[in-house]
Chain A
């Protein structure tokens, strides 16, 4: 298995896509963090004041929003690309036990998620430290419950890596997978989670479960406990991965 994971990293790093998506995730995080900092004095802001622990937790939790969807997109492209570019033939010739390939990709993109999340947390820190200091707000990167937020962001983004691989293995069509993922994350789920009548159900959706992991949400949707959110999100990831793996094992590579 380590050799397969090494092979997956090699595939990832020998094209440039990961770099563009990482820069995109960092830019998105920088945008979210700057907006949050810039509008912190706005009387209409929904977030807690930045001198409070809750405010600082929200600030660092935006790293998840910047990193998780693009990690899932990278993971989805990583697996659907095997079918789109027909490298699946060579991959499955080298490793006829196809579920091992899917597992290697799951591990790889979970690790990539950790890397993306880490980079995005660093971006928040680089922006927040001087900004808050200029606002005369003291910030301790190890205090105010922030380590818990880091852990939430890292695990959230890692699980999005699993979701991307699982969905990609299931659909195998690159455009459908990526467009579906983006539409779901940025259009469908935000609409559904803002319907109060069904909020009792929508807290179990991936986006809400993701918010639960960091205990931060900018929508009106409530969320589960962090560990529950983690379990629900991991459940989606593993269910999709299992279905995707099974479907990849059974499909004919023609």
Chain B
């Protein structure tokens, strides 16, 4: 099986998920999910708890068998990768350690099975900041230290693709800043980084692109900029809301939409405060308030995942 890591080829470093479906008993954990992740950027894989993020990542990594669909990395299914650790590094949980084994010994085991030199264990332990604690048993590690060790294990083979499931869980603020910088540098070297999280404020400062999942289904796949675009709105108060709505409706072809929030209050999307003021002025309509409302990622996310029943986009 040929693994293409040539950056001139389309599939190098790309993750492709195509129609993945997984049921556990009666529960559909992942439902016909498709998305792609491109190299050179950090993609946030977002969704509330139980959305199917971990199951998707585990299917991508050959740990869970999909009922339908296919997932590939660099054009190849994970189980067919010849030396997986050098192509894909994955940190799926901060709990996959034998408590009586030292952090260093844990990594050295995987150096052996991945045919990597043993010194890689010490190198990555220094990179993730566990150099001092490496001879201690993992049972005595804090959650943050285990997260760092899991990341270290993922980095052993210096992989082109990094897949991290909730990596910021348990990290202190310093650790989060450190990880953000680390992943940014990693992506800037042209590599692929896919990071899942349910803590969205963290992601807002980290990711370039987002794939949002809810109840096993894709809700949105966009760049971070594209996600907040079109979702920011303007609150406007006017004694003539009906007239204003009619005036705005004439601009509906530009994507302008008005929604009545109160007797004299409208929420308008698809235009800026200036654009809205201009429309009102041209129509001779009096305004009492004009407030741009920037929606943050958190709000977008809540909107997207909260309204799924009515809008399965």
Q: Could you tell me the dominant secondary structure of chain A's interface residues?
A: helix
Partner of A7, one of B96, B99, B112: B112
User: Within 8 Å CB of B58, what residues of A?
Assistant: 252-254
Instruction: Give the Cβ gap from B98 to chain A, nearest Cβ, in Å.
Output: 5
Q: Which residue of B lies closest to A90 (CB)?
A: B96
Contact, CB under 8 Å: A97 / B79: yes
User: Within 8 Å CB of B96, what residues of A?
Assistant: 85-90
Contact, CB under 8 Å: A93 / B63: yes
Partner of B110, one of A16, A17, A86, A94: A94
Instruction: Give the Cβ gap from A85 to chain B, nearest Cβ, in Å.
Output: 5
User: Within 8 Å CB of A15, what residues of B?
Assistant: 98, 100-101
A231-254 vs B, CB cutoff 8 Å, 1 = contact: the mask equals 000000000000000000010111
Partner of A89, one of B92, B99, B108, B109: B92
Please tell me if A142 contacts chain B, counting CB pairs below 8 Å: no
B73-112 vs A, CB cutoff 8 Å, 1 = contact: the mask equals 0000011110011000010110111111110011011101
Contact, CB under 8 Å: A16 / B100: yes
Please tell me if A4 contacts chain B, counting CB pairs below 8 Å: yes
Contact, CB under 8 Å: A252 / B81: no
Q: Which residue of B lies closest to A89 (CB)?
A: B96
Interface size on A, residues (CB 8 A): 28
Q: Which residue of B lies closest to A91 (CB)?
A: B113
Q: Which of A38-96 contact B (CB under 8 A)?
A: 81, 85-96
User: Within 8 Å CB of A90, what residues of B?
Assistant: 96, 110, 153
Q: Which of B1-59 contact A (CB under 8 A)?
A: 54-55, 58
Q: Which residue of A lies closest to B22 (CB)?
A: A252
B202-233 vs A, CB cutoff 8 Å, 1 = contact: the mask equals 00000000000000000000000000000000
Interface size on B, residues (CB 8 A): 35
User: Within 8 Å CB of B106, what residues of A?
Assistant: 14
Contact, CB under 8 Å: A3 / B113: yes
Contact, CB under 8 Å: B102 / A14: yes
Instruction: Give the Cβ gap from A102 to chain B, nearest Cβ, in Å.
Output: 14
Partner of A253, one of B64, B84, B100, B153: B64
Q: Which residue of A lies closest to B94 (CB)?
A: A86
User: Within 8 Å CB of A89, what residues of B?
Assistant: 63, 92-93, 96
Interface residues of chain B, those whose CB is within 8 Å of chain A, are 54-55, 58, 61-65, 78-81, 84-85, 90, 92-93, 95-102, 105-106, 108-110, 112-115, 153
Q: List 20 A-B contacts (CB under 8 A).
A: A3-B112, A7-B109, A10-B112, A14-B102, A14-B106, A15-B100, A81-B98, A85-B96, A85-B97, A86-B95, A87-B96, A87-B97, A88-B96, A90-B96, A92-B62, A94-B85, A94-B113, A94-B114, A254-B54, A254-B64
